[in-house]
């Protein structure tokens, strides 16, 4: 193996003293001479910095900014052509780096892999979500983004980016996270490799930035919608530089925008307007989901538009719940049993 680093792993940490050592060890235990590891403490107020220093890895402490700013700080202190931003509450599985490194070449803009979902104590909660298929694509994904604004992608820790794709984060001043514009610009800058193997672990607990597993928060949902709109406008400016002839869908014409707006109404204790339901169901039909998922989402929309306020909120909470769901569980949730 070459002594020149090919992959940089940058761990950003804010008040994750309970988890950051496990994230670091998950990298060190499979260490390779062609990888470099940097940990950036984003102004933690707990004992995270003490835990990080004890590990002996290259580490920096900055004033609290955001995940995006911390990751850029780490980016400037690494040299490898490919970068993995690993959240401090997540982990890589054994032999993950070997599987990743074997697939990287100069035509790859992004590599993604499945993440097992675990709880705060490291116990498996559910299989990988989203489940990914194995492929190497570019044009098909680019067309999907142009048409819908999205494609199936894991959270931050399940992605490796070529360094020039990461540079786009410097322009994303509207975003605090590091898994926004890079995900959706990647197909326009090179190949996207998708691996179906679970090469990492995504930890679900009561302080996830994503809010996954918690009762839906209207402010969080509102921020998701705003962030989606800002990201699409940013992508529009990037495409104008890369290929001025490409036409990107407007945020309001995507499925994501009305779907999140529907959820936001429920989270605020309001019944979503029935008049918008037919258009939402029509959009659902053409989405790239399995028939089972389409049926489940259609049921959610219909019930959410018809149920009383409290039961609508219970329905939304069940949808955001992590773990296996069933029709029986859904009925219990909306009955309050």
Q: Could you write out the three-class secondary structure of 230-273? A: HHHHHHHHHHHHHCCCCCCCCHHHCCHHHHHHHHHHHHCCCCCC
The pLDDT value recorded for residue 322 is 66
Which helix (DSSP H) or strand (DSSP E) does residue 75 occupy?
A: helix 67-75
Nearest Cα to Cα of residue 155 among 226, 102, 208: 208
290 and 237 both lie in a single domain: yes
Given 203, 237, 254, which residue is the final one in a domain?
Answer: 203
- Residue 149 resides in a domain: yes
Domain, as residue range, for 267: 218-335
194 and 62 both lie in a single domain: yes
Reported pTM = 0.90
**Percent of the chain predicted with pLDDT > 90:** 76
Mean pLDDT of 153-164: 96
CATH of residue 117: 3.90.550.10
Give 216 or 232, the one with higher predicted confidence: 232
191 and 225 both lie in a single domain: no
Question: Is 90 exceeded by the pLDDT of residue 151?
Answer: yes
Peptide bond into 130 cis (omega under 30): yes
User: How far is 38 from 238, CA to CA, in rounded Å?
Assistant: 29
Give the SS3 label for residue 296.
helix
11 and 151 both lie in a single domain: yes
Dihedral sign for Cα atoms in the order 132, 138, 139, 145: positive
CA distance between the termini of the chain: 58
154 and 246 both lie in a single domain: no
The pLDDT value recorded for residue 337 is 57
89 and 154 both lie in a single domain: yes
- On average, the pLDDT of the chain sits at 91
User: How far is 114 from 129, CA to CA, in rounded Å?
Assistant: 7
The pLDDT value recorded for residue 211 is 44
Question: Is 50 exceeded by the pLDDT of residue 1?
Answer: no
- Residue 62 resides in a domain: yes
Given 203, 228, 260, which residue is the final one in a domain?
Answer: 203
79 and 143 both lie in a single domain: yes
Q: Provide the 10 A C-beta neighbour count for residue 95.
A: 12
User: How far is 23 from 13, CA to CA, in rounded Å?
Assistant: 10
Number of alpha helices (DSSP H) and beta strands (DSSP E) in the chain: 13, 10
167 and 231 both lie in a single domain: no
- Residue 213 resides in a domain: no
55-94 pLDDT per residue, tens: 999 999 999 999 999 999 999 999 999 999 999 999 999 9
Question: Is 60 exceeded by the pLDDT of residue 130?
Answer: yes
Mean pLDDT of 168-176: 96
264-322 pLDDT per residue, tens: 999 999 999 999 999 999 999 988 888 988 998 999 999 999 999 888 998 998 888 76
């Amino acid at each position: 193996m070459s002594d020149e680093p090919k992959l940089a792993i940058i761990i950003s940490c804010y008040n994750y003293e309970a988890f950051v050592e496990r994230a670091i060890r998950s990298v060190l235990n499979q260490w390779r001479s062609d990888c470099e590891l940097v940990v950036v403490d984003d102004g933690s107020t707990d004992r995270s910095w003490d835990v990080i220093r004890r590990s002996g890895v290259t580490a920096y402490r900055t004033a609290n900014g955001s995940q995006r700013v911390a990751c850029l700080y780490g980016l400037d202190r690494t040299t490898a052509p490919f970068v993995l931003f690993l959240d401090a509450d997540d982990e890589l599985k054994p032999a993950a780096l070997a599987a990743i490194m074997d697939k990287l070449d100069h035509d790859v803009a992004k590599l993604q892999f499945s993440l097992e979902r675990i709880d705060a104590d490291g116990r498996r909660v559910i299989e990988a979500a989203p489940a990914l298929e194995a492929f190497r694509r570019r044009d098909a994904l680019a067309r999907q983004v142009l048409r819908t604004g999205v494609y199936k992608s894991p959270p931050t820790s399940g992605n490796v980016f070529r360094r020039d794709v990461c540079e786009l984060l410097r322009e994303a001043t509207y975003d605090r996270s590091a898994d926004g514009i890079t995900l959706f610009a990647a197909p326009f800058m090179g190949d996207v490799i998708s691996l179906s193997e679970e090469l990492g672990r995504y930890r679900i607990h009561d302080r996830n930035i994503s809010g996954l597993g918690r009762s839906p928060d209207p402010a969080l949902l509102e921020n998701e919608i705003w962030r989606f709109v800002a990201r699409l406008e940013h992508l529009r400016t990037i495409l104008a530089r890369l290929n001025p002839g490409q036409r990107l869908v407007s945020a309001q014409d995507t499925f994501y925008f009305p779907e999140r707006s529907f959820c936001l109404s429920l989270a605020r204790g309001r019944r979503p307007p029935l008049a918008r339901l037919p258009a939402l169901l029509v959009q659902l039909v053409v989405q790239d989901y399995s028939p089972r998922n389409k049926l489940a989402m259609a049921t959610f929309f219909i019930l959410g538009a018809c149920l009383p306020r409290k039961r609508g909120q219970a329905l939304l909470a069940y949808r955001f719940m992590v773990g296996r769901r069933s029709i029986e569980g859904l009925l219990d949730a909306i009955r309050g049993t």
